């Protein structure tokens, strides 16, 4: 357990991720990437086998299991706290059996009716993200009366459903879902409203790394780049803001800048929300 913003390093075990598709598809490459991220300052690793970039098609359960479980198992065996990024209860179960200590469900339990009952039974820490539709259709759902108010209301609904299923409140982390069914302007508006999101009463995970809405900010007056890695400095800036605002964690592709931001914020603002990851090994202090 720590008392500063946690840095969650992303490992995409996919051929089609928007940021690094295919680089870490093989188990050995993904495991090496995990070691690199931890060396650079990650506190935990988020392993996902299904891209959620805009327009991405779903993969089969069998393919997702084959991609994710060996990587989770190897990294957990190496002593690293691992999160599994999945919308399927079956994948979450196998990953937890392989050593994962967090289930990061971008659908907030909406994509699979078995997810919330599994989370309750397993008593595992979970991230519930604001979500409205799968990647193929999510850009059709960017309509809000007030993006901040509506996201808060819909996240409360996810919390209520999780609690009704038996998930303990201390196991819940919330994610506003920047870029998911949100325009660039709406994502910026949510970022500026982190205090309102804190008002929900749960730890917050902020995932802005390399997303489309950062492209303009990353240009620095120059021509915008379509290369996601060119947005790393802007991603670090968002991580610094999130950490300074007391977010529980930030989810990032490149961790060194975010790790520095987390430590600076901890010195400036003092302790933030801590979450006890049951079963986590070698948790960094």
Active site residue 211: yes
Residue 103's DSSP bridge partners are 84, 126
| Residues forming a β-bridge with 8 | 44, 251
Q: Catalytic one among 4, 158, 210, 251?
A: 251
For residues 205 and 249, the answer to whether their CB atoms sit within 8 Å is yes
| 182 has catalytic annotation | no
Instruction: Give the C-alpha distances (Å, rounded to integers) separating 186 from 13, 52, 90, 246, 259.
Output: 29, 18, 33, 21, 26
In our burial notation (b when 16+ CB lie closer than 10 A, e otherwise), range 11-28 reads: bbbbeebbbbbebbbebe
Those residues whose C-beta lies under 8 Å from the C-beta of residue 62, and which sit 6 or more positions away, are none
Q: b/e string for 108-125 if b means 16 or more Cβ within 10 A?
A: bbbbbeebbebbbebebb
> Which among 33, 132, 211, 231 is annotated as catalytic?
211
**Residue 108: CB partners within 8 Å, gap ≥ 6?**
128, 129, 130, 131, 155, 158
Q: List active site positions.
A: 211, 251
């Amino acid at each position: 357990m720590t008392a500063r913003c946690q840095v969650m390093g992303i490992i995409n075990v996919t051929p089609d991720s928007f940021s690094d598709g295919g680089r870490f598809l093989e188990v050995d490459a993904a495991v090496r990437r995990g070691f690199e991220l931890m060396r650079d300052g990650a506190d935990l690793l988020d392993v996902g086998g299904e891209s959620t970039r805009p327009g991405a098609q779903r993969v089969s359960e069998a393919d997702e299991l084959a991609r994710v479980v060996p990587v989770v198992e190897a990294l957990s065996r190496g002593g690293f706290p691992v999160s599994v990024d999945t919308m399927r209860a079956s994948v979450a179960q196998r990953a937890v059996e392989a050593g994962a200590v967090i289930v990061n469900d971008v659908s907030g339990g909406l994509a699979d009716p078995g997810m919330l009952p599994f989370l309750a039974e397993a008593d595992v820490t979970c991230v519930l993200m604001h979500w409205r539709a799968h990647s193929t259709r999510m850009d059709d759902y960017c309509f809000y009366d007030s993006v901040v108010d509506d996201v808060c209301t819909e996240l409360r609904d996810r919390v209520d459903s999780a609690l009704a299923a038996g998930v303990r409140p201390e196991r819940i982390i919330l994610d506003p879902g920047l870029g998911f069914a949100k325009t660039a302007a709406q994502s910026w508006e949510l970022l500026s409203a982190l205090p309102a999101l804190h008002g929900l009463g749960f730890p917050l995970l902020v995932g802005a790394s390399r997303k489309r809405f950062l492209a303009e900010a990353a240009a620095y007056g120059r021509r915008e780049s379509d290369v996601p890695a060119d947005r790393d400095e802007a991603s670090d800036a968002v991580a610094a803001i999130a950490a300074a605002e007391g977010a529980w964690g930030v989810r990032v592709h490149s961790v060194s800048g975010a790790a520095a931001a987390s430590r600076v914020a901890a010195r400036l603002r003092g302790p933030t929300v801590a979450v006890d990851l049951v079963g986590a090994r070698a948790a960094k202090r």
